[in-house]
Amino acid sequence: MLSETKRITFAVLSALVIAASTLAQSDASQQNRTGKAGVFAIVGARIVTVSGATIESGTVVLRNGKIEFVGANVAVPAGAEKIDGKGLTVYPGMIDAATNMGLLEIQQGMPGGVDVSEVGVMNANAKAYLGVNPHSTHINVTRVNGITTVLSFPTGGVIAGQATLINLNGSTQAEMAVVPEYGLVINFPRVATGGGFGGPPVDFNEAVRRRDNQIEDLRKMFRNAENYLRARDAYAKDKTLPYVATDLRNEAMAPYLRGARPVLFTAERERDIRAALKFAAEFKLKGAIIGGQEAWKAADELKKANFGVIYTNIYNLPVREDDAYDSLFEAPSKMAAAGIRFCISTGNDGAEVRDLPYHAGLAGAFGLSREEALKSVTLYPAQVLGVDDRLGSIDAGKIANIVVTDGDLLDPRTNIKYLFINGRMLPLTSRHTDLFDSFKDRK
Amino acid sequence: MKKTITYLLLCLLAISNVASIAVGQSTTVTLIKNATVMTAAKGTLENTDILIQNGKIARIGKNIAAPSGATVIDATGKFVIPGIIDCHSHAMLDAINEGSFSVTSMVRTRDVIDPTDIAIYRAVAAGVTAANLLHGSANSIGGQNTTVKFKWGHPAEDFPIADAPPGIKFAMGENVKRSNFPAAAGQSPRYPRTRMGVIETMRDAFIRARDYKQAWDDFRAKKTKVQPRRDLELEPLVEVLEGKRLVHAHGYRSDEHLNLLLLADEFGFKVATLQHGLEAYKIAPEIAKRGTGVSIFTDSWGYKLEAYDATPYNAYILWKNGVVVSINSDSDERIRRLNLDAAKVMKYGGVPDEEALKMITLNAAKQLGIDKRTGSIEVGKDADLAIWNGHPFSPYSRAEMTMIEGEIVFDRAKDGQRRVDMARERETLEKLDMNRAPGTGGGPPRVPTDRIRGERDDAEYGEGGNR
């Protein structure tokens, strides 16, 4: 029998436990779980700013969605929610610059949720911003592993469409967007001799012809759009000229032809990368290469063109049987040595974007320094995308996308302890923790 | 004359060289010095030596003196783990699916293994030493698997592990129903097309196998006079009924895997492994009760509908329930990073590090019935080892050397030298007339055909369908 005091204590404790668990539940039920706003101060943590020196023990203050202060001797503002960072490490959120996040839920067998590839070959007006599902389960699954921002883009045809740069939190696209219409993605035509699944291989010369024709079609698309814009401008100034009806595809090309936004070319082999750069020079386009298996071989022209590389080949097999077994693990270190601006991305459609840190880690096992490996998924993608004024490091004034861990960010054994996107503290829950909670105690 | 003799001698040498390799077991003595040894059986041992004799682990301890003539490998600062075992692979296979019938228990993957597949080398370069080469998942009852060691450089017959118990592939769900691979125009769909039909196909096969066994039992007991005709389809299933052949059952949903477990109960056999089992965590107690193993991806999910209820906490829940769990690749790409897949389960739920290591070594060996000879670092076991330049669960680590039965099958230092040689060879070859670029006086270029093979088991059946 319990004594009276013990019984009362027990009752009070039980009530507390129930209250606490109810709280936890109501927190968790805030799905799409956009978290809570406030002023937060992470105190006494190791701070890996990435852009500058690591602070062994310091404070980061987040307010109004931005990083307000960072430093070794920063006072905690009145009213701030204090987070004890002892033994923890603070990193900037990771950025994956090559995904199809939110554009497809299940690739196989569920066409209703697949919006990744439009009909046709030239789709400059296919805008990922309008197709991304803010409530895709991939979003929570990804961010709880420390990835806070992704570039998401369509895949089909030659001009695949426009990429959107989003933070992985928000109930609407607008709440998520960093740059709604970020850039144009072009699958740059290549010499493809492989027949694919069961198909006969194509004759090399025929494959070259096909590639040349496709590039010519792409060139025509650009020239037509130029002419269209010229005619529109002329009509705007002089209404006696023939009226030019709106053409959405040509219209969508305007910011790219005017150099206002970047063009991203998917290209793997050296000759294709050089060809893409030549094309970009012809139309004075700015941008980057996505893929980049052999980018290190084209360092001279990449640097001359001021093009960065979004490298997506860590989880790919070497192309040729006699390639070194680690050739694609090693490529980032070769790019670093050649002075190419690059970042590492998954190139994944959504479900496995959460593996981004391990892509970088593997590059770290094969020649890239640990510091560079970390930068390759934080500051470098921000630089390649030209948004390093807002993202990619822990500096005052940047967007408060912050990850707090109990270990090395790129190590698969590391646990994420706190997560902030746009300064909101997010619950560390996802479809996967929900399923875990539902079944972990089943007897 | 002298030249001829020299030539003959060289030939003889070459032959004897090949012969010594073909024995498949190194006769040399090797001593690995001063390593951190993660045994996958008895914890992690610091500053420890491993003595290897006749392809076996002869001694494990500190300050072991090198026997005369021993090759000494200084592993100071390095980690030694048991060779990684992949319980679900299609490497080396020139064909994966005999998908024509719904029951193809008569076919064997060992008839189509290719010892020159570069996937082997890429796997040993990541510390993998053994694999379960499974038939694909296109039909309810597929073909017979082959348990191999990746003896790169050896002829095909050296790869299968002679005393590994035989096994067979079963499959359930979308691949079997051909959900994502509709019949071509003019072809009628193959039965079954529903999960109802899949389990009935299996039931029918086992009823036929039971009758077939009865016919033989009766004949052997002289109750009947005419010897039954041999049936290569049913013989392997009789072996399953007799507990002599392991069943490896591909599936995703918990309900269909449970259907199979109940069918096995009914026919009195045990299922060795549920393969993939992305929802196995939902029926962990039922699996544990039957002693069935589960071989999973740590966190691959969402690539098709039946993979949508996956959770990376699967390994933890199964392990907590006492299920023997292994982590497999099912992919020539993923096989190169099984160490990181094992590391992840420490985060998802908190599986201890030695248990995580077992999921890519000893547990896979147990599931394949080869744990007496491999899967952990213990005296008397085969010297199947991988030496890493750092902790194998760190993303910054890489395999430096891999050995199978004491023979080095991967050595990163030598690989580096070989690259230089190959680059030189390539340069020479590219200068040959036939390899000159078109229009520069050479002959027409020959375009090599890419080998057509799926990454994952059902890839052959349709574009993009690689899982």
Together in a domain, B34 and B137: no
Together in a domain, A368 and A268: yes
Strand stretches in B198-324, DSSP E: 246-251, 273-276, 293-296
CATH number at residue B70: 2.30.40.10
Together in a domain, A331 and A421: no
Q: Is the peptide bond before B67 cis (omega within 30 degrees of 0)?
A: no
SS3 for A182?
strand
pLDDT at B446 over 70: no
Residue B467: CB atoms within 10 Å = 24
* B127 interfacial to chain A (CB closer than 8 Å): no
Of A110, A194, A370, Cβ closest to residue B450:
A194
Range of the domain at B324: 84-374
Cα–Cα dist B464/B183, whole Å: 16
Together in a domain, A321 and A204: yes
Backbone φ and ψ for B339, nearest 5 degrees, come out as -60, -40
SS3 for A423?
coil
The answer to whether residue B11 is domain-embedded is no
* B311 interfacial to chain A (CB closer than 8 Å): yes
Question: Distance (Å) from the C-alpha of residue A5 to the closest C-alpha of chain B?
Answer: 37
Together in a domain, A348 and A410: no
CATH number at residue B105: 3.20.20.140
CA triple A341-B396-B319, angle to 5 deg: 130
Together in a domain, A387 and A399: no
Is the distance from CB of B338 to CB of B128 less than 8 angstroms? yes
Is the distance from CB of A146 to CB of A93 less than 8 angstroms? yes
Chain B residues with beta carbon closer than 8 angstroms to that of A316 = 333
Together in a domain, A147 and A200: yes
Chain A residues with beta carbon closer than 8 angstroms to that of B303 = 106-108, 351
Backbone φ and ψ for A255, nearest 5 degrees, come out as -65, -25
* B346 interfacial to chain A (CB closer than 8 Å): yes
The answer to whether residue B381 is domain-embedded is yes
- Reported as a single tens digit per residue, the pLDDT across B263-302 is 999 999 999 999 999 999 999 999 999 999 999 999 999 9
Cα B144 to Cα B96, B107, B141: the distances in Å are: 11, 6, 9
Chain B residues with beta carbon closer than 8 angstroms to that of A137 = 302
Cα–Cα dist A142/A351, whole Å: 8
The answer to whether residue A21 is domain-embedded is no
Question: Distance (Å) from the C-alpha of residue A321 to the closest C-alpha of chain B?
Answer: 6
Range of the domain at A77: 31-93+393-443
Together in a domain, A107 and A205: yes
The answer to whether residue B13 is domain-embedded is no
Together in a domain, A117 and A176: yes
Cα–Cα dist B91/B456, whole Å: 9
- Joined tokens for residue B334: 């993923």
Together in a domain, B101 and B209: yes
Nearest to B364 by CA among B114, B190, B105, B161: B161
Cα A120 to Cα A126, A349, A384, B138: the distances in Å are: 11, 20, 29, 33
Structural domain count of chain B: 2
Together in a domain, A380 and A397: no
The answer to whether residue B250 is domain-embedded is yes
Band of residue B440 on the pLDDT scale cut at 50, 70, 90 = low
Together in a domain, B105 and B169: yes
Together in a domain, B276 and B294: yes
Together in a domain, B332 and B353: yes
Q: Which residue of B has its CA nearest to A319?
A: B450
Residues 6 or more apart whose Cβ sits within 8 Å of residue A63: A39, A40, A77, A80, A400, A423
Together in a domain, A88 and A100: no
Cα–Cα dist B180/B329, whole Å: 21
Residues 6 or more apart whose Cβ sits within 8 Å of residue B208: B234, B237
Question: Distance (Å) from the C-alpha of residue A131 to the closest C-alpha of chain B?
Answer: 19
Together in a domain, B205 and B316: yes
Q: What is the pLDDT of residue A15?
A: 45
Q: Which amino acid is present at A114?
A: V
* A365 interfacial to chain B (CB closer than 8 Å): yes
Together in a domain, A101 and A89: no
**Residues in A 23-52 with any Cβ partner in B closer than 8 A:** none
CA triple B245-B248-B250, angle to 5 deg: 155
- Joined tokens for residue B308: 């949508």
Is the distance from CB of A271 to CB of A192 less than 8 angstroms? no
Predicted ipTM of the assembly: 0.91
pLDDT at B27 over 80: no
Contact B343 A413 (CB under 8 A): yes
Q: Which residue of B has its CA nearest to A315?
A: B333
**Residues in B 381-440 with any Cβ partner in A closer than 8 A:** 393-398, 415, 419, 422, 426, 438
CATH number at residue A424: 2.30.40.10
Mutate to test the interface with B, among A99, A108, A359 (most CBs of B within 10 A): A108
* B277 interfacial to chain A (CB closer than 8 Å): no
Structural domain count of chain A: 2
Q: pLDDT digit of tens for each residue in chain A (443 aa)?
A: 445 445 445 444 444 444 444 333 333 443 457 899 999 999 999 999 999 999 999 999 999 999 999 999 999 999 999 999 999 999 999 999 999 999 999 998 889 999 999 999 999 999 999 999 999 999 999 999 999 999 999 999 999 999 999 999 999 999 999 999 999 999 999 988 776 555 677 888 888 899 999 999 999 999 999 999 999 999 999 999 999 999 999 999 999 999 999 999 999 999 999 999 999 999 999 999 999 999 999 999 999 999 999 999 999 999 989 899 999 999 999 999 999 999 999 999 999 999 999 999 999 999 999 999 999 999 999 999 999 999 999 999 999 999 999 999 999 999 999 999 999 999 999 999 999 999 999 99
